[in-house]
Amino acid sequence: MSAPSDTTSHTAAATALVGRKRLLPRLKGHGGASWHRWRYPLTRRTPLLIETDYSLTTLTAERRILNPRPVLWLLALAILAIAPPLFGNNSFVSASTNFAMYAAINVIWMLTIGTAGIFSLASLATVGVGAFGAAYLSVYDGFPWWAMWASGPFFGLVFGIFIAIPAIRLEGFYYALLTVGITELCRVYTVQSQKLGAASYGLFGADGFVPRDMPEHEGLVLGYYAAFGVLLLALTLYRSVNGQRLGRLLRAAPEKHEAFAEALGINYRAARIQVFLISSAGLGGVGGFYATLLHGASPSLFTMDQLLLLLAMIVIGGIGTTEGAVLGTLIVVLFDKVFIGLGPVRLILIAGIMLVTVLFLRGGLFGIPEQFANWRAKRRSERRGLQSGKGGNVMPEDAIEILDKQSIAVRRFDARLREELKGLITDSLIEEHRTTNGKRRSDALERVLTFFRRAGVEDKYAILAVRPFAEYRIVALSGRRGVPPRVVDDQVFATPEDALHGVFLKRVQDLQES
Amino acid sequence: MDPYYLVLTTITLAAIYGLLALGISIIWSSLGMINLAQGFTFSVAGYGAWLVAQNISANGFAVVAGGVITGALAGALIGGIAFIPLYDKPNFPLRSLVATLGISLFGGQCLLWIFGPRVKALPKIFGVGNVHFGPAVASYDKLGSIVCSVVLLIVTLAWMKTSRRGLEIRAMMQNPEGAALVGVGLRSTAMSVMMVTGAMAGLASVLLSQNYFIRPDAGVTPLVKGMVVALAGGLGSVAGALIAAVLIGFIEAVTAVTLGGQYVLITQFLFIILVLLVRPRGIAGMIEHTRE
């Protein structure tokens, strides 16, 4: 299975909160079963992260899948493999073929933009170069379709080397603008060149992999499965670059942290160019496939509108993830090819979706869960800020997130205790504390002091002897091993007794403010 | 090769490229946004001028004013959609870039929907005829284009140098945060930048439409040219954009005369790639580092 998965989902699930619903089924079994893992053949890598835990309600062992992505990928790919040829008419099948091909392009493009971090907009141009190269060899040199498939990556690689030269020096948007220009250059060249079919708006007449005597529907289905195979290959390529050594190297050298990566000995430039060339070769390969599918190539591959549609695909899904690329492609192709009766309105709709996505969403559709979680956490903390006057009482909506329900009762008890102790604090009590150090004290003062002494170590006040018998200061303990206490304020006390009374005053103040 | 023809073509092209590149360059340096919807502004302004010529008056001034005003309005629209809601959000440069591309797709398709795919032509606002400078011959079109764009360039630059708004724009180019701290309104300044650059694109559109037709996708080529000129000159540098406009106009004129029109883009791109390999921030570009 070539489903890309991410280890970040593990940490997300590990901090999962109590009371949240889980969409994935819980598996049974414990003992030896808790340690069983499926593995990719010949590797130690596991497709599913499984955690064994005991149910809080029934205390039975249950195994939970922490990362749902591989399961969802498998389901989605299964639907893609079965549904279009089974249920669709001819135009739907050819739209699905388009979808699979563009999804493959976007997945490989994601290697350049996401993994290598090179914001190249020349992806479709690379596909076009591969397509024109393969079509040229077929039309003028009689290459059969399998040789066209083989020659596509070669053209893509050569073009990739050519456009990688400026990428060595240029960064970010400078390179993006240059690649837009290069795409336009390709368009103008193919429109004007006689050998590349300027007269017929495209170079057609190349060999195709669908046999000519095949009935139309079967031919389309064969085309679809071939395109689906290309998509699977693209996903495999993505995973084997992004998930392996090259991808890890580049993940250690994100934008603005390149110097750090270089100091670690990572040659991030070489890695970026390598990924860029691999993805160019892949895009060229898709181009070769395109030429065999359509029996040629057309300059419309190089138009600004096509580039914009491609960009819309990855922006809607979310830049940087394969599932975003595939879902965005699905949406755009659905509008572009299936609702073709709408005319220009369908492109306006696509542009509208793109604008709404980019204006309101940070990471496309697949970024919605994270953005929503952030938004909800922000609203929660705002609400908690408003409720701090409730004296630490736990509101019902917070209670579902606290695993240890007893701590809720403790907090409620503490709140009531504080309210009661506040009533005991008077000027005479404070004065009593100052004068009766080491002597017998009243019951009220002892109660207050017992409450203070019971506090946790974190942020507990302590006395630091800067110079014994001469200078004492108040510090607050960090509560963590290895982290030193912090100095609380500038007050300096001459004797330990004064310092003790200073600590008492601080605690009284904290109590009054709570 | 006729040197007078070469010089004249160079100046014409440089003036128009300068108008386009300057707009992109100023927007980038003051707003930190790459405006790829400048091509849309260009097309819309062409249609605005055409509507004025059809419905109100075919007088040259009216047509130019129609183009300029439509361009300024389109610029304001782009600023309102792509800058105002996004400028304080995370990942602003990429999102605004995508937003301008979205506007460009949206607007281009709307134009196609409203006006149809048939091309439109503007009236010849400078009349038809030739002027002789010794051995050189210049058509009214060319002279008019040169004069108009040079006048607008000078007016814009003078406005940027002398007026209060121009000072605010230059302050924002140097240090946006500092400008905001001393009371320069980011939003209002941004909107005026967008309108001025939109007006420049509008004028360029009317001038170029003397020789080309108005189409829904007429803005793509000028956008690409203006963008690469701005890139070669150094994004954010006014002087660099002008130098690059002259150089690239010259290369286009020479290539068209010696090799033929279809090689123009290739030689231009080889030149630009060469420039960028030597100076990755363009001929006069330094400002991006100071922005950060």
In the prediction, which pLDDT does A10 show?
A: 40
- Residue A393: pLDDT band (50, 70, 90) is low
Using alpha carbons, list the distances in angstroms from residue A455 to A342, A414, A496.
Answer: 70, 11, 21
Domain boundary among A68, A87, A118: A68
Same domain, A444 and A314: no
- Neighbouring CB atoms inside 10 A of B118's CB total 8
Same domain, A354 and A473: no
Asked if B95 lies within 8 A of A166 by C-beta distance, the reply is no
Q: Cα–Cα distance between A48 and A72 in angstroms, integer?
A: 12
In the prediction, which pLDDT does A505 show?
A: 93
Same domain, A32 and A122: no
Q: For residue A1, tell me if it sits in a domain.
A: no
Which residue from B85, B97, B269 is facing A173, i.e. has the nearest CB?
Answer: B97
Q: For residue A87, tell me if it sits in a domain.
A: no
Same domain, A157 and A16: no
Asked if B265 lies within 8 A of A185 by C-beta distance, the reply is yes
CA distance B94 to chain A (A): 9
Answer yes or no: is pLDDT of A15 > 50. Answer: no
Q: In this complex, is the C-beta atom of A75 within 8 Å of any C-beta atom belonging to chain B?
A: no
Interval A80-103 mean pLDDT: 87
User: How much is the pTM?
Assistant: 0.76
Domain that holds residue A485: 421-513
In the prediction, which pLDDT does A144 show?
A: 85
Using alpha carbons, list the distances in angstroms from residue A463 to A487, A496, A506, A512, B98.
Answer: 10, 8, 12, 22, 58
Interval A446-464 mean pLDDT: 89
CA distance B255 to chain A (A): 15
Same domain, A297 and A153: yes
Same domain, A27 and A116: no
Same domain, A194 and A280: yes
- Neighbouring CB atoms inside 10 A of B97's CB total 24
Q: For residue A2, tell me if it sits in a domain.
A: no
Task: Give chain A's length.
Answer: 514
Answer yes or no: is pLDDT of A390 > 70. Answer: no
Per DSSP, helices labelled H in B32-86 are 38-55, 60-78
User: What are the tens digits of pLDDT across the range B66-122?
Assistant: 899 999 999 999 999 888 888 888 778 888 888 998 898 888 888 888 888 788 777
In the prediction, which pLDDT does A24 show?
A: 67
Closest CA to B141 of B45, B48, B212, B199: B212
Which residue's entry shows tokens 């004013």?
Answer: B65
The helix, strand and coil proportions of chain B, stated in percent and rounded to the nearest 5, come to 75, 5, 25
**What is the ipTM, given to two decimal places?**
0.83
Q: In this complex, is the C-beta atom of B95 within 8 Å of any C-beta atom belonging to chain A?
A: yes
Q: Cα–Cα distance between A455 and A476 in angstroms, integer?
A: 12
- Residue B286: pLDDT band (50, 70, 90) is low
CATH number where A261 lies: 1.10.3470
| Range of lowest pLDDT (A439-448, B88-97, B190-199) | B88-97
Which residue's entry shows tokens 């994270």?
Answer: A370
CATH for B3-291 is 1.10.3470
Q: In this complex, is the C-beta atom of A354 within 8 Å of any C-beta atom belonging to chain B?
A: yes
The torsion angles phi and psi of A466, rounded to 5 degrees, stand at -70, -50
Same domain, A251 and A107: yes
Interval A359-377 mean pLDDT: 86
- Residue A5: pLDDT band (50, 70, 90) is very low
Question: Following DSSP, what letter does each residue of A355-395 receive, concatenated?
Answer: HHHHHH-SS-GGGHHHHHHHHHHHHHHHHHHHGGGGTTPPP
Asked if B227 lies within 8 A of A180 by C-beta distance, the reply is yes
Q: Cα–Cα distance between B63 and B66 in angstroms, integer?
A: 5
User: What are the tens digits of pLDDT across the range B220-232?
Assistant: 888 888 888 888 8
Q: What is the mean pLDDT of chain A?
A: 84
Q: For residue A93, tell me if it sits in a domain.
A: no
Same domain, A49 and A115: no
Same domain, A431 and A364: no
Asked if A355 lies within 8 A of B97 by C-beta distance, the reply is no
> Distance between alpha carbon B132 and the CA centroid of its chain, in Å?
29
Same domain, A232 and A351: yes
Q: For residue A391, tell me if it sits in a domain.
A: no
Answer yes or no: is pLDDT of B291 > 50. Answer: no
Q: Cα–Cα distance between A281 and A159 in angstroms, integer?
A: 9
The torsion angles phi and psi of A486, rounded to 5 degrees, stand at -105, 150
Closest CA to A1 of A64, A52, A70: A70
Domain boundary among A329, A349, A370: A370
Same domain, A146 and A213: yes
Domains contained in chain A, number? 3
Structure tokens at B71: 């361009």
In the prediction, which pLDDT does A11 show?
A: 39
Interval A400-428 mean pLDDT: 85
